[in-house]
Structure 1
Amino acid sequence: LMTAKTIFKNEDGRLFRHLRYTYTYDNENRVTSKEASKWDSVKEAWVPYFKMNVEYSNNEIAVNYARWNSKSNAYDSNIQKSVYALNDANATLMLASTK
């Protein structure tokens, strides 16, 4: 399972840190969260960017998305939720709803 991935930008043959993704999984090896951070070259540190949480139930998957709010130091900005319906084979049928 992939727990982290770093994306680099190529500028004139030089690589620069750009984004880092970290993943968590449940006991069935399904992704339960994906967190993204952007590289801040001034601070020389990874800064939170967004987080997606995935919830699984018998017939649907809910994906919750939120952007990082530096004022509150929490993922509470631009909150969105999408719910996907699943068929009997656990394949996605359609986007059931968004908020």
Structure 2
Amino acid sequence: MTGTKVDLETLRAAIKEYESIKDELLQAHSSGEVLTAVKGAGKDMPSQVYATWAAAAGKAHQDSNKQLQDALTTRIDNLKATLAQYERTEQGNQANLKPKD
């Protein structure tokens, strides 16, 4: 039977990095909200068509950003759960190695 060695510090660093990326995505989503509300330069048809397409493109970017945020949230939650399990296991192993009175 072979085991997998997990470096808990690397796991903690990965969680921190993913959280940082998610924060940046949240900021981008907030500032990008204006992309979904593009208005035409005038009331003429070309301006209105442009505005409609530009707003749709902005919404698509916002939707993509949100999907990535959700994926990162899931990954972060899974990594945190894994970290907690390894920490519990490590603490249990240390307790088992202590001499009994």
Which structure is higher in RCO with an 8 Å CA cutoff and minimum separation 6? 2
TM-score band, normalised by shorter chain: under 0.3
Q: Compute the TM-score of the two structures, normalised by the length of structure 1.
A: 0.18
**More helix by proportion, 1 or 2?**
2
Q: Compute the TM-score of the two structures, normalised by the length of structure 2.
A: 0.18
**More strand by proportion, 1 or 2?**
1
